[in-house]
Amino acid sequence: MSNARPISSINLNPSVQKKLREAGYKTVQDLKETTPVLLSKELDISNQEAQMILQQVTESGERVSSVSVSEVAQKQKFMITTFCHGLDMLIGGRGIALGQITEFCGVPGVGKTQLGIQLSVNVQIPRSMSGAEGEAIYIDTEGSFIVQRVVEIANGTIEKLNESSDGKNDLPLDLETVLSRIHYFRAHDYIELLALIKIMDQFLKEHRTVKLIVIDSIAFPFRQNFSDMMLRTRLLNMIAQDLAIIAESFEIAVVLLNQMTTRFGNSGNSDKVTLVPALGDSFNNKCPNQIILYWREDMRFAHLVKSASSQEATVQYQITTSGIRDCPSNWPIRKRYREDD
């Protein structure tokens, strides 16, 4: 097959295709003349990801890879609901998409951990009920994971699913099953977090039904006792790249729970203080989906900052004993979360 064919003929992620075009790569021959080290530097990606791209180029020389519309639709069919219709609509229609990174940022007490737990339970919803029917990995960096709260949310989820099934089918979920399908890891510092992510590939190969990874929180290990900021930036970029590869390779959802920090001097005003997601723009730009969770007048709101498929909007949500739930008359409103904060 001709090496002069365009790189668009190779079955690569659209974001990778875009990076290649911006770096001047137009044909298969262009890619065959480069090396993994050079490609990683030009695209600002890891050597591992560069090697994967070039491997796909080599394999595509034998045949042109394609994905049918049916396969694409099948991948989009099974998403992870939050049990808040407004929040589901905000982030894609029916919840968290598989194969992508989704970042939820918010101040303490707004419900980030409870959302992470709810998703870890809801990822187990059977496919017969339009669920992902998978297992979850929960990486706790703050020590905020409380088993009793997991039990409450799991019981609330089982009760809600039983109501939805109308008694037509025996629900294949019970409390013990739900708890056994959440794999819990405690990372006490950034070194343990890095080690976990590095071995995640092997763990996922041994646990093929995992469809969700939650990291709560991604910022905590990097916010204290870190004097070398350049090293911190490199490590965070490496984590983002590794997680992106994991999400796409294993077709699972990666959910990052992030903290907020203050930024001074925004928009030329040195006295202005603004709340922004922690870890900086370099890291957050690598997350294709970002939602801010915040308070206003004792009510919780979720604001979609960026998404590959949805417009910027805001919805209200609530946290009950049973977990994340909708609010009455919850229609998306187009309002910036920073107003009046």
* Strand-pair partners of 261: 276
Enter the tokens of residue 218.
């991604």
- Mean predicted confidence (pLDDT) in 188-200: 95
Please say if the pLDDT value at position 63 is more than 80: no
Enter the tokens of residue 329.
């008359």
Helix pair angle (190-206, 229-250), 10° resolution: 10
pLDDT band at 119 (very low <50, low <70, confident <90, very high): very high
R_g of the chain, CA atoms, integer Å: 21
pLDDT score at 60: 63
Predicted TM-score (pTM) of this structure: 0.76
Q: Domains in the chain, please, with CATH? A: 7-60 (1.10.150), 69-325 (3.40.50.300)
- Mean predicted confidence (pLDDT) in 275-279: 90
Q: Are 238 and 40 in contact (CB under 8 A)?
A: no
Exposed/middle/buried for residue 56 (C-beta within 10 Å: 0-12, 13-18, 19+):
middle
Please say if the pLDDT value at position 69 is more than 60: no
How confident is the model over 154-186, as pLDDT tens digits?
999 999 998 877 655 567 799 999 999 999 999
**Separation of alpha carbons 9 and 335, rounded Å:** 40
Q: Are 205 and 159 in contact (CB under 8 A)?
A: no
Please say if the pLDDT value at position 59 is more than 70: no
- Mean predicted confidence (pLDDT) in 236-262: 93
